[in-house]
Homo-oligomer: A and B are copies of this chain.
């Protein structure tokens, strides 16, 4: 149920590759990051990178796979809820958790224009599309605007060095509270 993106190469070097690639993707964008730059940062050759992934696109998808899976699971949890308030509450808590726990992947996925096209071409944008549907679901325009602004806005505090020093717990609490205030949600309907 959580396989999602298919086979991914095993090995220990893969973890370092994911780390380095993700950091550079978040810093310069995926189009602005060459495989040469990644290899240099790792202290290996470009061919060594190609051992782990056969194409650059697959590398990007491999780095982003964990969030894609989490997103799918989150959307399922939301749609399982009944009632407008319960869904909004689940959405706020879910998206905040996801964004705080994987803030670099979140930034690359939501911020980079090239990634959106890539995910769509590989039919992996389903999670985002369903999330977008949920965002558009509310009848009133006011809630739709607030919801769209909130999800995208998570990028801001998460890539601000001054705010990330607060630590995950404080950040999570702050962002959840901001989301509730924005969407005018009462606290925890059916926890």
**Hey, which bits of chain A sit against chain B, CB under 8 A?**
26-29, 31-32, 111-114, 117, 136, 141-142, 144-146, 148-157, 160, 162-163, 166, 170-171, 174-175, 177-178, 181-182
Contacts and interface: CB of A to CB of B under 8 A. Distances in A.
Nearest to A170: B141
Given A28-B113, A111-B113, A113-B29, A156 B149 contact: yes
Nearest to A114: B32
How many identical subunits does the complex contain? 2
Contacts of A145: 157, 163, 171, 174-175, 178
A175 B150 CA distance: 11
18 contacts: A28-B31, A28-B114, A29-B113, A31-B32, A32-B114, A144-B163, A145-B157, A145-B174, A146-B178, A148-B156, A148-B157, A149-B175, A152-B153, A152-B154, A153-B154, A153-B156, A155-B155, A178-B182
Contacts of A117: 28
Given A145-B163, A145-B178, 20 more contacts: A27-B113, A28-B113, A29-B31, A29-B32, A31-B31, A31-B32, A32-B113, A111-B111, A111-B113, A144-B162, A145-B157, A145-B175, A148-B157, A149-B156, A149-B175, A150-B156, A151-B153, A152-B153, A153-B154, A178-B182
